[in-house]
Amino acid sequence: MIEPVIHRIVIKPDTLEDIDPMYRKAQAAGISIPEMAEAKMERNGVDRGVVMAIGPTAFKDFGAVDVVQVGDYIAYARYAGKKIKDVDEVEYLVINDEDVVCKLTKVEA
């Protein structure tokens, strides 16, 4: 697993399959989507993910503690961070603590 240092946070970003039901259906049906279209879809929609790890000084500069926890679903600044693959070839995003925009929670009906 990737271990963040200082004020960094490791995020498992949503994929297009996670957030776009039409994309998921197209993939299941075997419909190929050109790379340019895929990249455009990602730019327009993928800015959310799950917190996987938090650096030891995250949010401390802001006088906050426990702002987000591992497992929280968050939104982050659109062009934030550095993409990196772990040894398991899963792509993660390492962002600064200040790039967390909000925590997202499900409201049960």
Ramachandran angles phi, psi of 81, nearest 5°: 80, -175
> Is the separation of the CB atoms in 76 and 100 below 8 Å?
yes
What pLDDT sits at residue 65? 79
> Is the separation of the CB atoms in 53 and 1 below 8 Å?
yes
The model's pLDDT over 61-89, given as tens digits with 9 standing for 90+, comes to 888 878 999 999 999 998 889 999 998 89
Query: Whole-angstrom Cα distance, residue 79 to residue 60?
Result: 23
Range in 11-20, 26-35, 63-72 with the lowest mean pLDDT: 26-35
> If you average pLDDT over every residue of the chain, what do you get?
84
Domains of the chain: 8-14+47-104 (2.30.33.40)
DSSP summary character for residue 106: P
Percent of the chain clearing pLDDT 70 (strictly above): 75
